[in-house]
Structure 1
Amino acid sequence: MKILVIEDEKDVRLNIIEILASGGFDSIYAENGLKGIGLAKEAAPDLIICDIKMPDFDGYSVLQELRQHQATATIPFIFLTAKADKAEIRQGMNLGADDYLTKPFRRVELLDAIAARLKRHSAQLDIQKKVQELREINTQKDDFVSTITHDLRAPLTTIKVALQLMEAMPNNRKQYTEIALTACDQGEELIQNLLDLYQLESGEALATPEPLNIKEQLRKIIESFQVRARTHQQVLTLDIPEVLPVIVADSVGLQRIFVELLNNACKYTQSRGEIVFKVRTDQTVDQTPVLKITIANQAEIPIRDLPHIFDKFYRVPGSDRWQKGGTGLGLALVKKLIDQLQGTIYVTSQNGWTAFKIELPYETL
């Protein structure tokens, strides 16, 4: 704790500094009010002890000046004076002083006053922090409700329009049925992602960890995406070892991770573009076995968007050129799942490629 002492009488100043040192406090000092104001702004002390009767710039002027600046406005402030009548005390308190000590004072009086002011100040800071957190939570809730309302309304509007067009142009019934079904899928995906995120944020896994043949699970997932890639004339390149260990893991969570990332890769890769899925086994420095997974595709994310890529409802502006739709929750869900599995994920995007790189620790049977 650093305390600023503003006192023009040298003997009194040295005595205060000695008492502060005996109480375990660091101190800085100024011999007049103007220097004290400069030190307070420069050093941001935890508390200020200031004499009232000083030439040129008295203690009241010091306090009034410091209370006008945001950086020094809340620093606890204790006045020292040779005498203190009620009017003088009232004047100091009206200016924002936290306490008053009359000279001469005992060591215990000074240290007790400092301890009381610091404790009160700490409690005030805690309250301010909690108020700010509540404000942020309320803002997040408002944004959440607004976004959910918008995102749920979008597929419902699409379904309504498709039904109206189906009635007006029955010959195109099949086309509008497909549009309505796609919108239903988007709404269902949003609701499922919301439920999964809520479950994860409550500290629950999507499924109980169990022995898992990771090679077999990957095969089933990749087969469907190979069909999808061929349909969209994309090249899906696999780099997976012939043998992978049987691990103990949340199979539902792992599947969601792979599906979300491969789905994004297919969604944002142009025709004749390449998607690469790579898996390796390795060990950390402390010999913990890890799965290293890379899912990369030929599409680039602007560098300004990378810090927000795992935020809820964040969509890279202009990225959905093919109007494939999305909930804006997929990558947030992936990040939560990987955090729960005590793994890491990061994304790079350069030279026309975007790569999601994952490390997942695992247990073997």
Structure 2
Amino acid sequence: MPEIPASPVPGAGLKTVLVIDDDPRLRPVLVEGLEAHGYRTLQAPDAARGAELAHTHLPDVIVCDIDMPGQDGEGFLKQLRLDPELADRQFVLMTGDPSFANPRAGMELGADDFLLKPFSIGDLTRAVAARLKRAELSRHLESRIIEQLLGSLHSTLPHEFFTPLAGVFGLTEMLEEELDDLSKEEIRAILHDILTSAKRLHRTLKNYLHIIELDSHTQAVASAVLEAEAVLQAVRAGLDSAVQRHQRGADVTAELAGARLRASPTELTALAEELVDNALGFSRKESPVKVRLHPDGRWLRLVIRDEGRGMTPKQLQQLGLFQQHDRKKFEQQGLGLGLALARRIVHRLGGELRFDSEPAKGTTVHIALPVAAA
């Protein structure tokens, strides 16, 4: 069968509909009806030619018959959904098979809409218009989400990244300008503060990159099972790192008993470090922070309790990516990213995370991770 060209493009703003049907009498009728309603059209007699046109023109909607020689419409749809460039195209299946009298049967194949032949041009154009409206709503929603995320980034990243960087610059400039007038002890103190700011910035960058990695699914889900002792070592490493950073070894008590987990040591260390760091960062020195790790049936539970300022129910609801409660009043470094990272790690490991908190009484973090089968 000769190649069937696309219709002319009379305007740049037209939506494109690709019609795939092996019936040489019906296909032109559908195309003419769509063009009469202002759509640009493409047409193909089979799935192979339809795939070529879809990749070349990226149509907004694809209307495809199920029963065709060669690859049928269902197979073409499955192939399309696996193609990153075409997976989000709106797809309408059509058939004359009476076994598909229930439209739900066709949509269960993965189509966005379904038409049972015979149908009118009005039925077709209404289905196409509905698909285009749905796609536009989805794009609008995605744009709003991206806009909100960018707003959070703009309001948070200057703090999370630039505050420690400003510390490095400021202290270095002071050291350079006043070097001849400073004692060794003063120089040592300034160098210590520079190192502290640099470490803070490094940790923030590390957390941010870890979040991006988890969100983009570039890291495979951990398949190795850690024995109980390895789990304990990973949690202790995170706990010790947070305690050392805050210089509050006397304030922290830990009861640790491990269990087998399907996880990576790096993630367990990061999880413990970020949540203990959060507890220490939002509580006063010499106030207790209690950490308990213990098996409980099919779960390994990690509970971290502080007696800090606590949070209101509204603040608990706002815990999320790049949100740090009462930043102006309780200035801390990097905690928004730390909590976001902890949430993602728990989710990735198939666990649960919950916060209990009361203002002026403290916060308790409850984590449950599924124990690996023996």
The two structures have a TM-score, normalised by structure 2, of 0.58
For the 8 Å contact 2:299–2:371, the answer to whether it is kept is yes
Cα offset, 1:177, TM superposition: 1.5
| Aligned counterparts of 1:239 and 1:335: Cα–Cα separation in 2 | 23
Describe the SS at the equivalent of 2:296: strand
Cα offset, 1:248, TM superposition: 3.2
Aligned residues: 247
For the 8 Å contact 2:152–2:322, the answer to whether it is kept is no
Distance 1:128 1:220, change over 3 A: closer
| Aligned counterparts of 2:277 and 2:241: Cα–Cα separation in 1 | 10
Equivalent position of 1:161 in the other structure: 170
Equivalent position of 2:341 in the other structure: 333
| Aligned counterparts of 1:254 and 1:316: Cα–Cα separation in 2 | 25
Q: 1:197 aligns with which of 190, 211, 217?
A: 211
Q: Deviations over 1:287-333 (max 9, x none)?
A: xx211111111121222211121x22211114764x55225200000
Describe the SS at the equivalent of 2:153: helix
Q: Percent identity?
A: 19
| Aligned counterparts of 1:248 and 1:153: Cα–Cα separation in 2 | 36
Q: Deviations over 1:6-39 (max 9, x none)?
A: xxxxxxxxxxxxxxxxxxxxxxxxxxxxxxxxxx
Between structure 1 and structure 2, the one with the greater Rg is 1
| Aligned counterparts of 2:328 and 2:249: Cα–Cα separation in 1 | 19
Equivalent position of 2:95 in the other structure: none
CA RMSD of aligned residues (A): 3.0
Report the AA paired with residue 337 of structure 1.
I
Q: Deviations over 1:37-65 (max 9, x none)?
A: xxxxxxxxxxxxxxxxxxxxxxxxxxxxx
Cα offset, 1:119, TM superposition: 5.0
Q: 1:263 aligns with which of 268, 273, 277?
A: 277
For structure 1, the 5+ residue unaligned runs are 1-107, 284-288
Describe the SS at the equivalent of 2:286: coil
Q: Which residues of 2 match residues 175-214 of structure 1 at below 5 A? A: 175-205=189-219, 208-212=222-226, 213-214=230-231
Cα offset, 1:169, TM superposition: 3.0
Report the AA paired with residue 306 of structure 1.
L
Describe the SS at the equivalent of 1:169: helix
Cα offset, 1:232, TM superposition: 3.5
| Aligned counterparts of 1:138 and 1:203: Cα–Cα separation in 2 | 22
Equivalent position of 2:130 in the other structure: 121
Report the AA paired with residue 315 of structure 1.
Q
Q: Which residues of 2 match residues 20-59 of structure 1 at below 5 A? A: none
| Aligned counterparts of 2:167 and 2:125: Cα–Cα separation in 1 | 63
Q: Which residues of 2 match residues 54-203 of structure 1 at below 5 A? A: 113=122, 116-117=125-126, 119-141=128-150, 143-145=152-154, 147-170=156-179, 171=182, 172-203=186-217
Distance 1:353 1:142, change over 3 A: closer
Report the AA paired with residue 190 of structure 1.
T
Q: Which residues of 2 match residues 222-237 of structure 1 at below 5 A? A: 222-223=239-240, 231-232=247-248, 234-237=250-253
Report the AA paired with residue 126 of structure 1.
A
For structure 2, the 5+ residue unaligned runs are 1-117
Distance 1:155 1:247, change over 3 A: closer
| Aligned counterparts of 1:210 and 1:308: Cα–Cα separation in 2 | 34
Cα offset, 1:261, TM superposition: 0.6
Q: Which residues of 2 match residues 262-341 of structure 1 at below 5 A? A: 262-283=276-297, 289-299=298-308, 300-309=310-319, 311-318=320-327, 321=330, 323-326=331-334, 328-341=336-349
Q: Deviations over 1:71-108 (max 9, x none)?
A: xxxxxxxxxxxxxxxxxxxxxxxxxxxxxxxxxxxxx9
For the 8 Å contact 2:243–2:249, the answer to whether it is kept is no
The two structures have a TM-score, normalised by structure 1, of 0.59
| Aligned counterparts of 1:156 and 1:228: Cα–Cα separation in 2 | 18
Describe the SS at the equivalent of 1:363: coil
Equivalent position of 1:350 in the other structure: 358
